[in-house]
Amino acid sequence: MDIDSPLLFPVTTRARKIFVLDETRLPFDQHYIEVKSLEDALWVLETMKTRSLGQVLLFFYCCLLFEETCPVSGIVEKFAEKRPTFDFHLLGMILKEERERCGDLETAIHEFIARFDRMRRDRAARLAEILPNPASVLTICNFNGELIYLYDEMRKLEKEAAFIVCETRPYLQGTRLTFWELNRNRIPCQLICDNQAALLMKDGKVNCIVTGADRSTTRGDVINKIGTYALARLASHYGIPFYPLVQYPKDIRVEDIRIEDRPVEELFIFLSEGTENAYSSVQAIYPSFDITTHEFVSQCIALV
């Protein structure tokens, strides 16, 4: 299967420069932001121009290009301050270990990225073995191409698969990224509003749920985009298996992880550009992640 998705590797480096796919402008405009400094990178991170795998790649490339002006430990702290729920301290440890193994930072980064992508493909193959045939997969947020890997592996097993994509409020990553990416690759998919999931489960139109996980514990708890917990509880009620894709679980108490509260004006990004600023003083609640504890997880599908 020929895969066509810039989201597989949304951050790249060329000629000692970093280029970040602006995910907030998809699907209408495939624009890349040139990152010339660590300050540029932190702005990209804070304003949600990239997320998920993009955050990992941006961190690694910043360590490669800006280490002379800021040590890796300093970059870890700056990234963690902007996006506290994501585990940049773990990425710093991984980078240190890879560097010691390779002896060269650039080689370490490129070898790790290549190995990480192979592990994603392998994870998709293992999940394909587990999913029913046919699979009606409900998902939320965006996987940076991994659902395409999953669909390809399902085809190899002669299994049918179709995806039901939650819109993923308020940034609409499900609509703008996941649904766009699946359509771009001619993969069967349907878009739903976030609040339609329960009805579809009740009517038997969903037989499995696959989500990402920004962080996870060795006990099987996961932290992911807000809305994941609701899907897990609904899945438990209707007897539908819930499979989060996890990487590098840690032996920690999930309750100790700081959940990132995003600016409340982001709840109004559906308005015309610029008008959302008029709501910066509005009383609202916007935790951008939630916690799903292990009793509502059927099986974590980990990188190996």
Residue-wise pLDDT for 195-204, tens only, equals 999 999 999 9
State residue 286's pLDDT score.
87
Whether 274 and 153 map to the same domain: the answer is yes
Going by pLDDT thresholds of 50, 70 and 90, the confidence category of residue 93 is very high
Residue ending a domain, choose from 115, 143, 176 = 115
Please give the Cα distance from 99 to 82 (Å, whole number): 25
State residue 285's pLDDT score.
85
Contact indicator for 174, 167 with CB cutoff of 8 Å: yes
Q: Which amino acid is residue 57, in one-letter code? A: L
Within a domain: 90: yes
Length of the chain: 304
| Whether the predicted pLDDT of 262 surpasses 90 | no
| Whether the predicted pLDDT of 276 surpasses 60 | no
Whether 245 and 143 map to the same domain: the answer is yes
Residue ending a domain, choose from 86, 115, 144 = 115
Within a domain: 69: yes
Please give the Cα distance from 272 to 166 (Å, whole number): 22
Whether 76 and 134 map to the same domain: the answer is no
Total Cβ atoms within 10 A of residue 275: 12
Cβ neighbours of residue 3 under 8 Å, at least 6 residues apart?
A: 145, 148, 149, 152, 185
Whether 146 and 290 map to the same domain: the answer is yes
The pair phi, psi for residue 80, each rounded to 5°, is -65, -30
Q: Which amino acid is residue 251, in one-letter code? A: D
**Is 209 strand, coil or helix?**
strand
Within a domain: 276: yes
Whether 214 and 141 map to the same domain: the answer is yes
Residue ending a domain, choose from 115, 143, 159 = 115
Pick the closest to residue 71 from 56, 50, 92, 85 (CA basis): 92
Q: Among 139-143, 162-166, 172-176, 299-303, where is mean pLDDT lowest?
A: 139-143
Q: End-to-end distance of the chain based on CA atoms, in angstroms?
A: 23
Can you give the C-alpha Rg of the chain in angstroms?
19
Please give the Cα distance from 146 to 120 (Å, whole number): 7
Q: Per the structure block, which two tokens stand in for 108?
A: 């370490």
Residue given tokens 């790649």 in the structure block:
57
In the predicted model, what is the mean pLDDT of residues 30-40?
96
Within a domain: 1: no
Any catalytic annotation for residue 290? no
Contact indicator for 260, 85 with CB cutoff of 8 Å: yes
Whether 161 and 225 map to the same domain: the answer is yes
| Whether the predicted pLDDT of 275 surpasses 90 | no
Total Cβ atoms within 10 A of residue 112: 20
Q: Angle at the Cα of 208 (from 206 to 213), degrees rounded to 5?
A: 125
| Position with higher pLDDT, 95 vs 273 | 95
Total Cβ atoms within 10 A of residue 59: 26
The pair phi, psi for residue 165, each rounded to 5°, is -110, 115
Domain with 172 in it: 127-302
CATH number of the domain enclosing 142: 3.40.50.10470
Going by pLDDT thresholds of 50, 70 and 90, the confidence category of residue 272 is low
The total domain count for the chain is 2
Q: Cα 219 vs. chain centroid, distance in angstroms?
A: 21
pLDDT, tens only, 100-125: 998 889 999 999 999 999 999 999 99
Within a domain: 251: yes
State residue 88's pLDDT score.
95
Going by pLDDT thresholds of 50, 70 and 90, the confidence category of residue 266 is confident
CATH number of the domain enclosing 47: 1.20.120.420
Whether 156 and 296 map to the same domain: the answer is yes
Pick the closest to residue 7 from 137, 185, 136 (CA basis): 185
Whether 218 and 256 map to the same domain: the answer is yes
Annotated catalytic residue, options 214, 221, 251, 256: 214
Q: Per the structure block, which two tokens stand in for 30?
A: 């495939």
Going by pLDDT thresholds of 50, 70 and 90, the confidence category of residue 131 is very high
Contact indicator for 189, 177 with CB cutoff of 8 Å: no
Distances (CA, A) of 143 to 214, 244, 292: 11, 11, 18
Q: Among 29-33, 129-133, 249-253, where is mean pLDDT lowest?
A: 249-253
| Whether the predicted pLDDT of 289 surpasses 60 | yes
Whether 68 and 202 map to the same domain: the answer is no
